[in-house]
Chains A and B, each alone.
Chain A
Amino acid sequence: MDLATFLVQCLNAVQYGLLLFLVASGLTLIFGIMGVINLAHGSFYMLGAYLAFALAPWFGDWFVTRLVAGVALAAIFGYLLEWAFFSFLYERDHLQQVLLTYALILVFEELRSILVGNDVHGVPAPSWLGGGFRLGSLMEYPWYRVFASAACLVVALALYAVVQKTRLGMMIRAGASNRDMVRGLGVDIRRLYRIVFAGGVALAALAGMIAAPLSSVYPNMGASVLIICFVVVVIGGIGSITGALIASLLVGFVDTFGKVFFAEWSGVGIYLLMAIVLIWRPEGLMKRGF
């Protein structure tokens, strides 16, 4: 493999990893702060993609506006879902959470089938992000992929800023360490959890919206993302955003280079990575912390 190809593959790995990070960050927040295993997280990703498809005719080329609108809708949906369903899961043990959210996947898939149908749909990228730039004589790299990576990085920084530098972030971190103490101090922890959950859903939906022009929307699209996200979250350390970032990039590299060098075994690679990390550091790369 020559240097040019190697660099391009690295670019591919980073771009895939960053998109994974966006979905995984939502999952690690929900998992870490509220201790809820949410198998339906892939469905939120799918929700975002289908939102991108549904909102496209209304917003045309105003892509960023479309993203903002979609995120807002998803956040509202998440808020309501937490109030109606997830708030009852905190007292339950992990097994029940696994099964309840698994059932939720079935329900969402069927609702999607009933409401939107089973066809595959394309979502066009906005025209101002069309085309690409040439990577030497090798191939073109689409501008949209650059935008996607940049957007993920911006969100990562924003997330970091919110969690480390704001009052809300402080309450989130406190609630993660000691829920009862925070409640005793007068903070409405139920509303806090609702906000965090809505944030997690919004992040996953945003990832789906950004990915939609790249992957198109189709039935069961959440399933493949879900398991890989769990792998990322567990490798990075549950509740750690920085960990999720590092882990996503690792997974991106293992997946990309695995495909090129070990075609048959590339599927196994990610799980091998997870098993190795967990055996070396049973609580993930970054322990509790952000």
Chain B
Amino acid sequence: MASDAVAGTAVVDSVADVGALPDIARREPGGWLVPAAAALVVAALPFFVSPYGQDLVLRIAVYAIFALSLELLVGATGLVSLGHAAFLGIGAYATVLGSGSDGASLAWLLPLAVAAAAAYAVVVGALSLRTRGVYFIMVTLAFAQMAYFVVHDTKAAGGSDGIFLYAKPTLAIGSTTLVDLGNRAALYYAVLVALAFTYAFIAMLLASRFGHALAGIRVNEQRMRAAGFATTPYKLAAFVVAGALAGLAGFLLAVKDGAVNPELLSWHESGAVLLMLIFGGIGSLRGAVLGAVTFTLLKELFQSEALLGPLAPHWQLTLGLTIIAFVAALPRGLIGIGAQLRALARERAARAARNAA
């Protein structure tokens, strides 16, 4: 594998090699009904749940959008990026910087945030896609670190303490306000709509010709090129779409928190979203959302003094060990539990049959 790293097919092959991953465009059990039902349940939650609980759901939803955007790169195209947080951060910063002290209209602030993230994605993608395998991982990290240091060290973006959003964006026609994201209920449903949109958009993208081309690139890029596909434009397109969606997540995060900070672009954040994907299961959109839910709730759990008492301050230990256990035991994530158990059962049956015979 070390020698393969140079040829660059190692990462591509090995992602597909972790057993038969669910093909991301294949119909999963329940089809559209399961995500739709989940969306309805989440929409009804504000009537049952405390304000803190709603904030938690909101946070999970925003991270789910972030995770979904990375799923397009990692799960669908096989490109592992360790710098995806840069696009989240750029979307967030564009939101705050564009709002100024009076707030701004949703109509142009949202496109601005998404466009800013997409623009950086074009640059990073065009340059990084010249490298492969582990070098690609490192170059994406480098570009994210560059953005991080620009935001962290220079006065233009407020420095290491970050900047605050003083007025949340609104959408108004004439003098009537249609949507005011400062209103908690409005924000809740806006985020939910955004999540549903992202999920549906990526699902449709993957079911299209474009998505199938990405799948082909993931499985064997050389064969795709031999078949006449210019693979780089496809990869770049995937990279930019993923970056744009991460920018959307950044916009929502900035509005929800009312503050942005350079740590949004740090490699820890990029690592966290990769963890979400692997928790949920790579190669599945439901897995991405499930991973976001799991990771956020786990972190809440381990840091909660009410539930874990004296262990709470040592959350780094408990979280670290849990991650190791998860990644080691469930390489296909939570979504893959069913398949893994079935494979185990089949193996056991086959062995029993052999022993009996």
Contacts and interface: CB of A to CB of B under 8 A. Distances in A.
A284 to B, nearest CB: 8
Nearest to B323: A103
Interface in B1-48: 1-3, 5-6, 10-11, 14-15, 17-18
B139 A275 contact: yes
B80 interface: yes
B153 A264 contact: yes
9 nearest interchain CB pairs? A106-B320, A93-B14, A267-B149, A103-B323, A35-B2, A110-B317, A107-B320, A110-B316, A106-B316
Interface residues of A, number: 52
B153 A265 contact: yes
Interface in A209-227: 227
A230 B135 contact: no
A268 interface: yes
B2 A109 contact: no
Interface stretch (A50-58, A125-133, A134-142, A171-179): A171-179
B320 A103 contact: yes
Interface of A: 32-35, 37, 88, 90, 92-96, 98-100, 102-107, 109-111, 113-114, 176-179, 227, 230-231, 234, 238-239, 264-268, 271-272, 274-275, 278-279, 282-284, 287-288
A99 B317 contact: no
Dominant SS at the A interface? helix
A37 B136 CA distance: 13
A177 B2 CA distance: 7
Contacts of A99: 271, 274-275, 278, 323, 327
A287 B231 CA distance: 25
Given A99-B275, A283-B6, A231 B320 contact: no
B223 interface: no
A27 to B, nearest CB: 12
A264 B320 contact: no
Interface residues of B, number: 52
Given A32-B2, A33-B2, 8 more contacts: A34-B2, A94-B137, A98-B271, A110-B316, A179-B3, A234-B135, A274-B139, A278-B131
A24 to B, nearest CB: 13
Interface string B324-356: 100110010000000000000000000000000
Contacts of B155: 264
6 contacts: A93-B14, A110-B320, A111-B317, A179-B3, A266-B153, A275-B143
A90 B4 CA distance: 13
Contacts of B141: 227, 230
A106 B132 CA distance: 28
B316 A107 contact: yes
A114 B271 CA distance: 25
Nearest to B317: A110
B122 to A, nearest CB: 15
B323 to A, nearest CB: 4
A279 B135 contact: no
A285 B314 CA distance: 42
A275 B127 contact: yes
Contacts of B3: 176-179, 288
Given A103-B327, A110-B316, A264-B155, A279 B130 contact: yes
